[in-house]
Amino acid sequence: MIELVHLEKRYGNAVPLTDVNAVINDGDVISIIGPSGTGKSTLIRCIDMLERPTSGEIILDGENICARGYDVTKARRKMGMVFQSFNLFGHLNVIENIMQAQIDILGRSKSEAYETGVELLRRVGLVNKQDNYPDELSGGQKQRVAIARTLAMDPEVILFDEPTSALDPTMVGEVQSVIRNLTDTDKTMLIVTHELNFARAVCSRVFYMDQGGIYEDGTPDQIFGNPQRDRTRRFIRQLRVLELKVDGPDFDFMGAGTEIDGYCLHNNVSSRAKYGIKLAFEELACNILKPVLACTPVLITVEHSEKHDSTEVTATYGGERFDPAQSEDDFSYSVLQSVVGGLSYHYDAEAEQSNAIRILI
């Protein structure tokens, strides 16, 4: 079992991990997904102690491996890392690549290391390549050798950092199928990947990383089918987001219009949807929500999915309940209602932004 407790990692001013907390159970197969730069690689490199966390604890089988004086080689023996770029030794052939660490680190005899190596090469479908050198192999084959080499060390935990992203697309499948077969073993696996279909198919759990930590942790069905939090939903559905803060009745209307134009141009929003967004924005910010803006700012968010060609505009604001249907500006409200695909209002006294209007364009 691995426990991550208030893990923080800084590089000067950059703080990719601000507060990571999780319990990883034996046998968990976890996909780690999230936008670029959110610390996915940093996290697994910290777990493998290739990077030392700035603060916090990583408890592996009851021991804090970040503690001063802890012998990290002990933790590394329980873990194996598979890198995007394979990291095979070019001067050794395939079987030697797999045998070396078994002999040097585990103290296995040559024949034992050889037997294990052949067995594992069989498992990854490369037994006939044992005498070849890495530069005689395709990318997919190199990665399968790298996986066999990691398995040869009998790790309890295997960490994968984008194992297929350096591969020609035709070779992605063979490596994914080797990884998929490993899920039948009792190994704990953490797989950083941008291949969401693969992540969904192989894992028992998903970490969506964002904002310095594990922003959402759930089953594949939850994360991919019914994400609970905004950023997860936007990532999974590949939504393009524009946020416009309307900070009072005299906000910069022209500036907001220019931002909407730029956003639509950038994200291939159809002219019909652009018209809908502009109308919704104008009716909300200039008419319907005028009384609200006198007291509190309003955040208007546009989310567009190019894949599904759908667009949604949301207005959220704090303060007292203010239902647009009861707005004094009936005319604007009915214009909006007749033009858009759907309009709903929701009030949640507990939420910071207690009022939310959702408009389907």
Ligand X SMILES: Nc1ncnc2c1ncn2[C@@H]1O[C@H](COP(=O)(O)OP(=O)(O)OP(=O)(O)O)[C@@H](O)[C@H]1O
Residue 311 is a binding residue for Mg ion (CB under 5 A): no
Q: Name 215's Cβ contacts closer than 8 Å, sequence gap at least 6.
A: 34, 208, 209, 229, 231, 232
Q: Where are the alpha helices (DSSP H) in the chain?
A: 40-47, 72-78, 94-104, 110-123, 139-151, 169-182, 196-202, 220, 230-236, 253-266, 271-282, 290-293, 330-339
Q: Give the shortest CB-44-to-ligand X separation in angstroms.
A: 9
β-pair type (55-60, 205-210): unpaired
2, 4, 7, 16: residue in contact with ligand X (rule CB under 6 A): 16
Number of residues that make up the chain: 361
**Distance of alpha carbon 191 from alpha carbon 227, whole angstroms:** 19
Site membership for Mg ion, residue 41 (CB under 5 A): yes
Q: Which one of the spans 8-16, 146-154, 260-268, 292-300 is the region binding ligand X (CB under 6 A)? A: 8-16
Q: Which does 14 bind (CB under 5 to 8 A by kind): Mg ion, ligand X, none?
A: ligand X
35 vs 342 by CB, closer to ligand X: 35
Query: Is residue 140 a contact point for ligand X (CB under 6 A)?
Result: no
When CB distances are held under 5 to 8 angstroms depending on the partner's kind, the choice from Mg ion, ligand X, none that residue 31 binds is none
Nearer to ligand X, 15 or 299 (CB): 15
Q: Which of residues 264-323 bind ligand X (CB under 6 A)?
A: none
Q: Does 231 bind ligand X (CB under 6 A)?
A: no
Least distance to ligand X, CB of residue 8, Å: 12
163 binds ligand X (CB under 6 A): no
Q: Which is nearer to Mg ion, 7 or 95 (CB)?
A: 7
How many residues in the shown chain lie near Mg ion by CB under 5 A? 1
CB of 38 to ligand X, least distance (A): 4
What the block records as the tokens of 152 is 């040869």
Q: Does 213 bind ligand X (CB under 6 A)?
A: no
Structure-block tokens of residue 353: 């932004």
Q: Which residue is nearest to Mg ion (CB)?
A: 41
Task: Check if the beta carbon of residue 260 is closer than 8 Å to that of residue 290.
Answer: no
**Residue 117 carries which DSSP code?**
H
* Phi-psi map region of 334: left, alpha, beta (phi>0 left; psi -120 to 50 alpha): alpha
Which x/- pattern, by CB under 6 A, does the window 31-50 give for ligand X? -----xxxxxxx--------
Cβ–Cβ under 8 Å, residues 297 and 231: no
Site string for ligand X, 88-107 (x = CB under 6 A): --------------------
Size of residue set near ligand X by CB under 6 A: 10
* Calculated CA dihedral for residues 349, 350, 351, 356, nearest 10 degrees: -30
Select the binding partner of residue 231 from Mg ion, ligand X, none (C-beta < 5 to 8 A, by kind).
Answer: none
Dihedral-angle region of residue 335 (phi above 0 means left; psi in -120 to 50 means alpha; beta otherwise):
alpha
The residues of the shown chain that bind Mg ion, judged by CB under 5 A, are: 41
Q: Which residues are at the interface with ligand X (CB under 6 A)? A: 11, 14, 16, 36-42
